[in-house]
């Protein structure tokens, strides 16, 4: 049986030795424990931390998921990390494309996982990273900054890396998986983090360069939601059931509802998607 990895596979030295980025991750904080790396990174950004600053932790005591959910964050096993991205000059129209950021961050994760663990994840809209039908990771993007001179986005990623199947809480066991469960091998967290940052930098550069078409095609190629029957739970308790048809220009999901006349499309910007059979 392999020995536990502990924090040694996620030291700042180990990550820096593998970094291939221009800016992301060179300012790097790795903590043993924090409540949430997103909360800590938002505080750092508020204090002026620069573009590309990364904060990762071995364990989170209050890890947060999308839609107010809790993120399972045990020590010594998984990746919990947040990156601060700062806006381009004030008023820059390229900031308008930011709705794509969660989607391209998930694409970056899928490619990093493929390279580091040899798996081929798919993406459930908007940014769940799946191996088979089970969730292996997710993205939580949060914005901040009171003045137009100090606007930033924190991109948080959680990946279940080395959690054993039997160690997931009962309610997650049928829904979640880890890279280790899927490959039967321990995966190095520093390699995964460095790999994700490199993939993310390439795609955030492409976003700033306005290469939305290319990014959209790349997302579609990985997205297992498109073409499927889905149920979407919207804020306020509304539910839409139908076929996931396409992406809107802002990365929204267009669903053709079963209850509506053919050709009607509902555009979804925020919601919880369930893949139906």
What stretch of H or E contains 253? strand 253-257
- Please tell me whether residue 71 binds ligand BTN under the rule CB under 6 A: yes
Residue 52 interacts with ligand BTN (CB under 6 A): yes or no: no
Nearer to ligand BTN, 94 or 173 (CB): 173
- How many chain residues are in contact with ligand BTN, going by CB under 6 A? 20
Q: For ligand BTN, which is the closer residue by CB, 53 or 60?
A: 60
- From candidates 10, 140, 230, 266, binder to ligand BTN by CB under 6 A: 140
Which of 63, 195, 216, 251 is the binder for ligand BTN (CB under 6 A)? Answer: 63
Write the binding mask 28 to 47 for ligand BTN: x where contact by CB under 6 A, - elsewhere: --------xxx---------
Cβ-contact 52, 23 below 8 angstroms = yes
| Residues near 95 by beta carbon (within 8 Å), at least 6 away in sequence | 87, 88, 151
Q: Return the number of the residue (7 or 265) whose C-beta is nearest ligand BTN.
A: 7
Binding residues for ligand BTN restricted to 167-186, rule: CB under 6 A: none
CA distance 95 to 150: 13
Closest CA to 209 of 127, 93, 54: 93
Contact string 144-163 vs ligand BTN (x = CB under 6 A)? ------------xxx-----
- Alpha-carbon distances of 22 from 100, 194, 199, 243, rounded to whole Å: 21, 12, 12, 41
Q: Which is nearer to ligand BTN, 65 or 74 (CB)?
A: 65
Are β-strands 79-86 and 128-131 bridged in parallel, bridged antiparallel, or unpaired? unpaired
- Indicate which single residue of 72, 80, 100, 152 sits in contact with ligand BTN (rule: CB under 6 A): 80
Counting Cα atoms < 13 Å in the Cβ hemisphere of 264 gives: 10
Residue 254 lies near ligand BTN (rule: CB under 6 A): no
Give the bridge partners for 243, in sequence order: 229, 256
Detail the DSSP E strand segments found in 63-133. Answer: 79-86, 122-124, 128-131
State how far the Cα of 63 lies from the Cα of 73, in Å rounded to an integer: 6
Binding mask 96-135 for ligand BTN (x = CB under 6 A): --------------------------------x-------
- Judged by the rule CB under 6 A, the positions of this chain that interact with ligand BTN are 36-38, 60, 63-66, 69, 71, 80-82, 128, 138-140, 156-158
């Amino acid at each position: 049986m392999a020995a536990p990895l502990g924090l040694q596979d996620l030291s700042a030295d180990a990550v820096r030795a593998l970094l291939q980025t221009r800016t992301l991750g060179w300012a790097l904080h790795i903590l043993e424990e924090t409540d949430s790396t997103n909360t800590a990174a938002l505080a750092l950004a508020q204090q002026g931390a620069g573009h590309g600053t990364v904060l990762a932790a071995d364990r989170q005591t209050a890890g947060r998921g999308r839609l107010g959910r809790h993120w399972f964050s045990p020590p010594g096993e998984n990746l919990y990390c947040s990156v601060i991205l700062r806006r381009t000059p004030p008023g820059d129209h390229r900031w308008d494309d930011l709705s794509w950021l969660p989607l391209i961050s998930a694409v970056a994760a899928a490619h990093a996982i493929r390279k580091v663990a040899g798996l081929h994840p798919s993406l459930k809209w908007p940014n769940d990273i799946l191996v088979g039908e089970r969730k292996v990771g997710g993205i939580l993007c949060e914005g901040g900054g009171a003045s137009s001179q100090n606007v930033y986005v924190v991109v948080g990623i959680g990946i279940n890396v080395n959690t054993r199947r039997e160690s997931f809480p009962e309610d997650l066991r049928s829904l979640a998986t880890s890279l280790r469960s899927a490959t039967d091998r321990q995966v190095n967290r520093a390699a995964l983090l460095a790999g994700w940052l490199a993939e993310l930098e390439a795609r955030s550069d492409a976003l700033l360069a306005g290469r939305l078409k290319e990014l959209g095609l790349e997302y579609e190629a990985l997205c297992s939601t498109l073409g499927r029957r889905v149920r979407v739970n919207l804020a306020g308790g509304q539910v839409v059931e139908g076929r996931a048809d396409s992406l809107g220009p802002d990365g929204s999901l267009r669903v053709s509802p079963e209850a509506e006349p053919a050709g009607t499309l509902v555009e979804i910007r925020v919601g919880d998607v369930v893949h139906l059979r």
